[in-house]
């Protein structure tokens, strides 16, 4: 019992660092994840335990080790076409309506915020490519961002394990868009060129990305504290076109969370800017030029 308190203090401090730097929370009931996530780092750097790690991280000279620790604690769970019903709605309803509304300028910008290892952004690219005859002559820009440098590097590589490639991906899509290279599968370079990945923080953007027609911010806000979530919603609202769409995770909602967005009634799981009298994308003003 004498040693239980220092360990508890260490996990609490590390959880606090994670929230301060990234906005992502770890509930006390899940503090066990910290020990599990950081075990490889402790071994690699010959640091005996979490208490010793906290002591080392208190030195400003160890910023690189702090970043490495934070990245390991982040929840980077992702797989292709996660929540397939939402992607079906995106393909059958959201994209066709936006294609009609952007017909004059023939351009579409899509942002995958908190894109993790890239499966979500590549899933969107596959949807576009599957109907590529409908997008002939269009400028389609897909941007994937994440706070973790390591997952962005993996996303850019477009290289996935057999386990990763089988999660959510149909055999048809696997054979159409991936080539086996040893034990890994590599995405078609053509799709890779459709997506631009960059390291960024949704709460503190490094650069101005302009406005997007669709923003996917899925299974990200659920890890934020209410006040941090409010900041994130404000950033998303500023970055979304007035008639654009926001897609959250299947377990996330704008109801009682923010006054900036409301559900798009015609498209389950999608949300639009909360403007008085607005009920969904089809109820918006005339198309933008």
Give which of 1, 39, 31, 36 is closest to 14, Cα–Cα: 31
pLDDT tens digits, 177-188:
999 999 999 999
Domain 84-160+187-283 listed as CATH 3.40.50.150: yes
- Token output for 158: 């477009």
For the chain, which residues make up each domain, given as ranges? 4-73, 84-160+187-283
Query: Which pLDDT belongs to residue 7?
Result: 60
In sequence order, which ranges of the chain are alpha helices (DSSP H)? Answer: 4-22, 32-44, 50-57, 63-73, 84-89, 95-101, 119-130, 149-157, 162-166, 171-177, 189-192, 226-239
Look at residue 185 in the predicted model and tell me its pLDDT. 95
Long-range (24+ apart) CB contacts under 8 A made by 167-172 are: 167/79, 167/80, 167/119, 168/79, 168/80, 168/81, 168/82, 168/84, 168/119, 168/123, 169/80, 169/81
pLDDT for 280:
46
For the chain, list residues with pLDDT below 50.
Answer: 1-6, 276-289
pLDDT score of 287: 43
pLDDT at residue 198, rounded to an integer = 95
**Which ranges in 109-245 belong to alpha helices (H)?**
119-130, 149-157, 162-166, 171-177, 189-192, 226-239
């Amino acid at each position: 019992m004498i040693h239980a308190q220092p360990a508890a203090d260490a996990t609490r401090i590390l959880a606090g660092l994670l929230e301060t730097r990234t906005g992502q929370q770890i509930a006390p009931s899940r503090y066990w994840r910290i020990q599990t996530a950081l075990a490889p780092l402790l071994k690699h750097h010959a640091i005996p335990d979490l208490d010793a790690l906290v002591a080392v991280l208190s030195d400003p000279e160890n910023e690189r080790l702090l970043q490495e620790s934070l990245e390991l604690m982040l929840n980077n769970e992702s797989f292709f076409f996660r929540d397939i019903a939402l992607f079906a709605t995106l393909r059958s309803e959201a994209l066709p309506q936006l294609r009609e509304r952007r017909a004059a300028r023939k351009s579409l910008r899509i942002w995958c915020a908190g894109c993790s290892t890239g499966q979500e952004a590549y899933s969107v690219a596959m949807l576009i490519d599957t109907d590529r005859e409908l997008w002939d002559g269009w400028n389609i820009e897909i941007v994937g961002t994440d706070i973790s440098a390591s997952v962005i590097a993996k996303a850019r590589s477009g290289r996935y394990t057999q386990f990763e490639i089988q999660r959510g991906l149909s055999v048809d899509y696997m054979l159409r868009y991936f080539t086996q290279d040893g034990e890994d599968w590599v995405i078609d370079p053509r799709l890779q060129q459709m997506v631009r990945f960059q390291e960024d923080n949704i709460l503190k953007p490094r650069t101005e990305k302009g406005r997007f027609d669709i923003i996917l911010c899925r299974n990200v806000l659920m890890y934020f504290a209410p006040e941090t979530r409010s900041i994130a919603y404000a950033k998303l609202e500023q970055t979304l076109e007035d008639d654009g769409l926001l897609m959250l995770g299947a377990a996330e909602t704008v109801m009682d969370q923010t006054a900036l967005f409301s559900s798009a009634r015609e498209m389950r799981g999608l949300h639009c800017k909360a403007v008085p009298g607005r009920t969904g994308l089809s109820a918006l003003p005339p198309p933008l030029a």
